[in-house]
């Protein structure tokens, strides 16, 4: 029966049944590999989204730090001007 099946399959398709089954097994492996690649790609995509969110937070923190530094510089300038006025007043007295 098995020989007849192999012979009949080859007659219909031109392929040996064992070769066809090997092709099916290979296709199943490729499909499994493709699924693994898709899962890995999805994981990388999620990681990239998290990195972008963190980069956004870092940029916002740096902007706040820059604003604070600018305020500190302005405050120091004000103090320096005040000190210069006090020194000028002392020399006038």
Q: What is the pLDDT of residues 44-76, one digit of tens each?
A: 999 999 999 999 999 999 999 999 999 999 999
Q: How far is CA 66 from CA 54, 56, 71, 77, 91, in A?
A: 18, 15, 9, 16, 37
Average pLDDT of the chain is: 89
User: How far apart are the C-alpha atoms of 49 and 62, rounded to whole Å?
Assistant: 20
- Using pLDDT thresholds of 50, 70 and 90, give the confidence band for residue 93: low
Mean pLDDT, residues 17-41: 87
* pTM beyond 0.85: no
Q: What percent of the chain has pLDDT over 90?
A: 57
């Amino acid at each position: 029966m098995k020989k007849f099946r192999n012979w009949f399959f080859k007659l219909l398709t031109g392929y040996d049944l064992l070769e066809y089954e090997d092709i099916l097994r290979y296709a199943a492996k490729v499909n499994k590999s493709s699924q693994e690649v898709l899962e890995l790609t999805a994981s990388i995509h999620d990681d990239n989204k998290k990195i972008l969110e963190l980069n956004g937070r870092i940029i916002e923190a740096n902007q706040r730090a820059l604003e604070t530094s600018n305020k500190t510089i302005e405050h120091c300038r004000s103090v320096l001007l005040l000190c210069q006025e006090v020194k000028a007043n002392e020399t006038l007295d």
